[in-house]
Structure 1
């Protein structure tokens, strides 16, 4: 099945990328940010949104 082949390739890429950064999530994220910045494509950064549940906890709802 084609989907399984695609998923296998994605998992292999993810594993190789994680291994290259010694499974350091911060370093992996920094690499993705650099790739994004150097891609030449536009990107949008949205501010975090609060969920209704977080508003309930703070009593601001």
Structure 2
């Protein structure tokens, strides 16, 4: 493991990185929120089905 090479690579990436604009941040937050909501909804549906169908699946 070459530490000097790794640090150089990390510094290069950090120099290229920039803070997203408010519009980009807002869009990413909406998409992430929708994904969290959908996963929660699927989990709730599975829970509801398992609760109403005892001994089912």
TM-score range, shorter chain: 0.3 to 0.5
User: Whose Rg is larger?
Assistant: 2
Structure with a larger share of its residues in helix: 2
TM-score (norm 1): 0.36
TM-score (norm 2): 0.39
